């Protein structure tokens, strides 16, 4: 970008469209810097149409979740497969953040500032995981992955309120629940480097889920809706009210879940074994 000013929505769409992971990371960091420097403006009237599909590399192969094999962390390949799964989530999270920016064009400026910041941190997280993959002799794309996160993006593309309720406050919040256990497993497997990187991701993801909580509740307030009952209505409509346990209650509280929500989630959730 050589011009002094640029359209935020077009820049966000370009970041979303970039298929190469390294270039997507670099474009994301540059866009965040341009935004902080005041070089981007949110002009919906002058922007190109909303982009519906993200850019992706040819690999990894995308398969159904049930087709993914559980691997033990006792082997190098097993550790790499788990790291790859996290890297794939973080790559998708970059796309999800940019999609929120470029898709929802009637939001306050603070909304864009929040999600640009999330995109930049997700890009850092992807880099952390890709570095660990390379340390182990692998790279992003070497294992199959699934498309669950982007499927929810498609399902919530019509309404920022629904997006805020279900992507950060359900799918990303699940990371708050499972990451502490992953950290412990990598430490037990003699991989403190990956455990430390996951600790950085967990710390930042609390803030990302908090962004979703804040905007879900603000949009409810703007529309005169009660966020408590609506959240569970959306869970029933889109998720069949299926919530996995156990929940990381302290992290979820920090991320904006209140006690009534947590009690309701615990009443719905079922205990499952994570891979």
Name the residue among 237, 238, 228, 240 with its Cα closest to residue 268: 240
pLDDT tens sequence across 50-86: 999 999 999 999 888 877 888 889 899 999 999 999 9
Output Rg (C-alpha) for the chain, integer angstroms: 18
Question: Among all chains, which residue has been given the structure tokens 């359900």?
Answer: 170
What CATH topology corresponds to 6-43+71-271?
Ferritin (1.20.1260)
Which tokens hold the place of 199? Answer: 């600790």
pLDDT tens sequence across 121-153: 999 999 999 999 999 999 999 999 988 888 899
Residue 65's pLDDT is 81
d(CA 103, CA 110): 15
d(CA 169, CA 175): 10
Name the residue among 8, 15, 16 with its Cα closest to residue 47: 8
Print pLDDT tens along the chain (275 aa): 434 469 999 999 999 999 999 999 999 999 999 999 999 999 999 999 999 999 999 999 988 887 788 888 989 999 999 999 999 999 999 999 999 999 999 999 999 999 999 999 999 999 999 999 999 999 999 999 988 888 899 999 999 999 999 999 999 999 999 999 999 999 999 999 999 999 999 999 999 999 999 999 999 999 999 999 999 999 999 988 778 889 999 999 999 999 999 999 999 886 444 43
Rounded to whole angstroms, what are the CA distances from 209 to 122, 134, 165, 216?
A: 12, 29, 10, 10
Residue 270's pLDDT is 64
Question: Among all chains, which residue has been given the structure tokens 């953040």?
Answer: 97
Residue 7: which H helix or E strand, with range?
strand 6-7
SS3 of residue 270 by DSSP:
strand
d(CA 116, CA 127): 17
Residue 274's pLDDT is 42
Residue 121's pLDDT is 98
SS3 of residue 62 by DSSP:
strand
Helices (H), the chain: 8-17, 21-36, 76-103, 109-135, 148-155, 160-166, 173-188, 192-223, 227-239, 249-254, 259-268
Torsional class of 153: left (φ above 0), alpha (ψ -120 to 50), beta (otherwise): alpha
Please state the separation of Cα 270 from the chain's center in Å: 23
Cβ atoms < 10 Å from Cβ of 135: 13
The answer to whether the beta carbons of residues 131 and 198 sit under 8 Å apart is no
Which residue ranges make up each domain of the chain?
6-43+71-271
With 0.85 as the threshold, say if the pTM is over it: yes
The answer to whether the beta carbons of residues 268 and 244 sit under 8 Å apart is no
């Amino acid at each position: 970008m050589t011009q002094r000013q640029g359209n935020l929505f077009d820049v966000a769409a370009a970041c979303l469209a970039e298929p190469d992971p390294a270039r997507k990371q670099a474009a994301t960091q540059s866009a965040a810097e341009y935004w902080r420097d005041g070089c981007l403006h949110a002009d919906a009237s002058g922007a190109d149409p909303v982009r519906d599909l993200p850019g992706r590399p040819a690999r990894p192969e995308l398969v159904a979740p049930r087709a993914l094999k559980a691997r033990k962390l006792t082997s190098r390949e097993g550790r790499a497969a788990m790291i790859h799964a996290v890297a794939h989530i973080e790559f998708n999270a970059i796309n999800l953040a940019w999609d929120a920016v470029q898709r929802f064009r009637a939001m306050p400026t603070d909304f864009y500032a929040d999600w640009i910041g999330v995109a930049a941190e997700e890009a850092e997280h992807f880099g952390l995981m890709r570095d660990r993959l390379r340390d182990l002799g692998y790279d992003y794309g070497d294992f199959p992955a699934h498309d669950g996160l982007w499927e929810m993006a498609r399902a919530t593309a019509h309404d920022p309120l629904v997006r805020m309720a279900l992507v950060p406050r359900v799918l990303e919040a699940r990371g708050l629940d499972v990451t502490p256990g992953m950290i412990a497993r990598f430490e037990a497997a003699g991989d403190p480097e990956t455990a430390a990187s996951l600790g950085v991701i967990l710390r930042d993801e609390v803030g990302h889920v908090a962004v979703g909580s804040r905007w879900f509740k603000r949009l409810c307030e703007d529309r005169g809706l009660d966020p408590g009952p609506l959240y569970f209505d959306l869970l029933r409509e889109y998720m069949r009210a299926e919530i996995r346990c156990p929940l990381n209650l302290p992290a979820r509280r920090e991320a904006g879940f209140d006690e009534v929500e947590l009690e309701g989630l615990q009443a719905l959730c079922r205990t499952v074994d994570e891979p």
